[in-house]
């Protein structure tokens, strides 16, 4: 948090602040920044998705309630820390898990439950759209969900008036504007970075594809408008103010920046929006974003073409599964300790177990794990089964057990990154890690460095995550000078004095991770059998 308390109080009273709220998969976080763009207050709300009728979803009630609770928690934090009731904010922005499908009719009613990024149910659609567009279309993209609904002949499709993402929905509720930032929009439909809009030729091809369905709409009529970082995207309405703050304290009229996806805010929060930079966000899911100098040589099903918040081409490797299974094992250890009357904090337990992993054999002692709580598109699974496997000869001890569970968090990701770094020869000057996997100093960072055989840096501020990233995008919109790019703003005004810790790959660790990956790839059939036979 910022250090000059009197200055911070003045910032809050004068509205020289920016608010960012991000909807993560397990937590909704609000971060308020002051004039120096450092976080000065935060709030949060824990939540979980539901698996309803074969769909991973969150209800509209959970979305609205979580938004209001995270903001209320922030307001209480401001009151407690600075003795002020928050009633004005200089600018704000909203971000959320990318992709997914929210469809609404002309009256604003949601037509089917929100289909999140976690659903691997659109393979038939992607198998048609990818060759049609000549570009990889991932299963979780909004256009894949839309076309799958058309293929399924779902009743609601003819009534669609508007399709958006979770961030786009929140922005609509707050401002009345149907807008998406370029980064989030690139997970809805392919973006033409030069035009800063949906790719016109591909949109025309899609309209031609569905012409015989006579649905009564053209694709671009039902999609949100695309805005680049820094552009105005509407102001908070009276209704929007009450949607966020039902007490009526917060005043309407606040400028709101284009809503973004968590990938774009992760790039912003790690200063990774310039060419040859990259970041890895590792939490419930894990994804790597590398800003490209030139297009890839061909389509790779493991790699998604998306953009930065200001529209630059990015190669994204996204794995649906990361720490969920690891967290379940840590919870089991906590229950075990508590059975013996031993109380230990979450930070101490995670830290101790993570550090134990560094003592393990370089190849994890022959152990194998798959952390697939849900499907995994990189390895072609529509469903997942968390799985731990060993042979009688495996060296089964706590360090190897923990190392295996950490390695497997990056297993599917490494398959995609190997294509980028080894096959395509993509160059990265710096790779930054952020998210829960990197919270214990030096552990997740070392494992990622060994996985990619490249140095990995972690910034002290990266722990603030995407909510800080969207707050920075809101601040950029309000403060940017004429001609100042997002990369320049971040370099010169946000990260000029930022400190980071860089970890180099360990040659033995690199070899060990490669050995683990051979076992990982050979064992995929075991995971397949678990999905088929364990219902």
Name 335's bridge partners: none
**Length reported for the chain:** 535
Whether 382 is in a domain gets the answer yes
pLDDT at 500 over 60: yes
Q: Does any domain span residue 103?
A: no
452/104 Cα distance (integer angstroms) = 42
Which candidate, 174, 193, 166, places its Cα nearest to that of 182? 193
Q: How confident is the model at residue 461 (pLDDT cuts 50, 70, 90)?
A: low
pLDDT at 2 over 50: no
Q: How many domains does the chain have?
A: 1
For residue 95, the SS3 value is: strand
Residues 6+ apart with CB under 8 A from 296: 303, 305, 315, 420, 424, 426
CA separation (Å) from 48 to 23, 29, 58, 349? 11, 14, 8, 22
Tell me the per-residue pLDDT of 333-390, one tens digit each, with 9 for 90 and over.
999 999 999 999 999 999 999 999 999 999 999 999 999 998 998 998 989 999 999 9
Residue 484 pLDDT exceeds 50: yes
Q: How confident is the model at residue 435 (pLDDT cuts 50, 70, 90)?
A: confident
Cβ pair 53, 29 in contact under 8 A: no
Q: Are 321 and 376 in contact (CB under 8 A)?
A: yes
pTM: 0.84
Q: How far is CA 202 from CA 192, 208, 330, in A?
A: 10, 10, 46
Q: What is the pLDDT of residue 464?
A: 63
Residue 314 belongs to a domain:
no
Check whether 245 has a pLDDT greater than 80.
yes
pLDDT of residue 3 exceeding 90, the answer is no
The CA R_g of the chain, rounded to the nearest whole Å, is 23
Closest CA to 257 of 363, 332, 350, 175: 175
For residue 276, being part of any structural domain is answered with no
Instruction: Please state, rounded to an integer, the average pLDDT across all residues of the chain.
Output: 94
At residue 68, the pLDDT reads 98
Kindly report, residue by residue over 413-425, the tens digit of the pLDDT: 999 999 999 999 9
Q: Tell me which residue range forms the domain holding 359.
A: 324-409+508-533
Sequence-separated (6 or more) residues with CB below 8 Å from residue 106:
159, 161
Amino acid 1: pLDDT: 44
CB atoms within 10 A of CB 226: 24
User: Does residue 197 sit within a domain?
Assistant: no
Other CB atoms within a 10 A radius of the CB of residue 352 amount to 13
Among candidate residues 466, 480, 457, 433, the one with its CA nearest the CA of residue 39: 466
Tell me whether residue 485 is in a domain: no
Q: 360 lies in a domain? A: yes
pLDDT of 48:
93
Percent of the chain with pLDDT over 70: 99
β-strand 304-307 against 313-319: which pairing, if any? antiparallel
Q: How far apart are CA 509 and CA 514, in angstroms?
A: 9
What is the per-residue pLDDT for 117?
A: 87
Let me know if residue 402 belongs to a domain: yes
Q: In the chain, pLDDT over 90 holds for what percent of residues?
A: 84
């Amino acid at each position: 948090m910022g250090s000059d308390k009197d200055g911070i109080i003045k910032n809050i009273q004068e509205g020289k602040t920016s608010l960012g709220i991000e909807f993560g998969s397990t937590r909704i976080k609000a971060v308020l920044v002051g004039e120096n763009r450092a976080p000065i207050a935060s709030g949060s709300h824990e939540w979980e998705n539901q698996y309803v009728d074969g769909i991973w979803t969150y209800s509209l009630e959970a979305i609205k309630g979580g938004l209001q609770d995270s903001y209320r928690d922030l307001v209480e934090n401001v009151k407690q820390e600075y003795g002020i009731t928050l009633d004005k904010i200089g600018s704000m922005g909203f971000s959320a898990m990318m992709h997914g499908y929210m469809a609404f009719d002309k009256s604003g009613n949601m037509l089917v439950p929100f289909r999140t990024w976690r659903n691997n149910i659109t393979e038939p659609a992607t198998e048609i759209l990818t060759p049609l567009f000549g570009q990889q279309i991932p299963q979780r993209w909004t256009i894949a969900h839309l076309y799958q609904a058309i293929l399924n002949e779902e009743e609601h499709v003819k009534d669609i008036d508007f399709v958006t993402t979770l961030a786009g929905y929140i922005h609509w509720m707050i401002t009345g504007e149907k807008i998406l930032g370029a980064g989030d929009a690139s997970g809805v439909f392919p973006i033409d970075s030069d035009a800063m809009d949906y790719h016109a030729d591909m949109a025309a091809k899609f309209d031609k594809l569905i012409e015989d369905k006579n649905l009564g709409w053209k694709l671009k009529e039902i999609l949100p408008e695309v805005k680049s970082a820094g552009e105005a995207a509407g102001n908070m309405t009276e209704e929007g103010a009450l949607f966020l703050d039902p007490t009526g304290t917060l005043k309407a009229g606040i400028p709101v920046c284009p809503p973004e996806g968590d990938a774009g805010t992760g790039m912003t929060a790690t200063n990774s929006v310039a060419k040859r930079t990259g970041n890895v966000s590792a939490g419930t899911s894990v994804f790597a974003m590398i800003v490209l100098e030139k297009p890839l040589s061909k389509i790779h099903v493991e790699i998604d073409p998306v953009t930065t918040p200001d529209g630059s081409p990015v190669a994204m490797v996204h794995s649906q599964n990361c720490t969920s299974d690891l967290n379940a094992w840590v919870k089991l250890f906590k229950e075990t300790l508590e059975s013996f009357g031993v109380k230990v904090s979450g930070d101490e337990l995670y830290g101790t177990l993570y550090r134990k992993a560094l003592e393990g054999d370089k190849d994890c002692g022959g152990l194998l794990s798959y952390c697939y709580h849900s499907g995994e598109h990189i390895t072609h699974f529509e469903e997942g089964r968390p799985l731990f496997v060993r042979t009688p000869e495996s060296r089964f001890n706590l360090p190897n057990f923990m190392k295996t569970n950490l390695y497997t968090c990056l297993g599917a990701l490494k398959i995609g990154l190997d294509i980028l770094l080894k096959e395509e020869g993509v160059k990265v000057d710096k790779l930054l890690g952020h998210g829960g996997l990197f919270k214990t100093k030096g552990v997740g960072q070392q494992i990622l460095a060994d996985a990619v055989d490249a140095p990995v840096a972690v910034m002290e501020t990266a722990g603030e995550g995407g909510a800080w990233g969207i707050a920075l995008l809101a601040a950029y919109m309000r403060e940017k000078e004429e001609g100042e790019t997002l990369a320049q703003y971040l370099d010169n005004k946000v990260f000029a004095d930022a400190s980071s810790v860089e970890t180099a790959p360990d040659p033995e660790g690199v070899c060990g991770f490669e050995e683990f990956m051979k076992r990982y790839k050979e064992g995929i059939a075991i995971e397949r059998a678990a999905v088929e036979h364990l219902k």
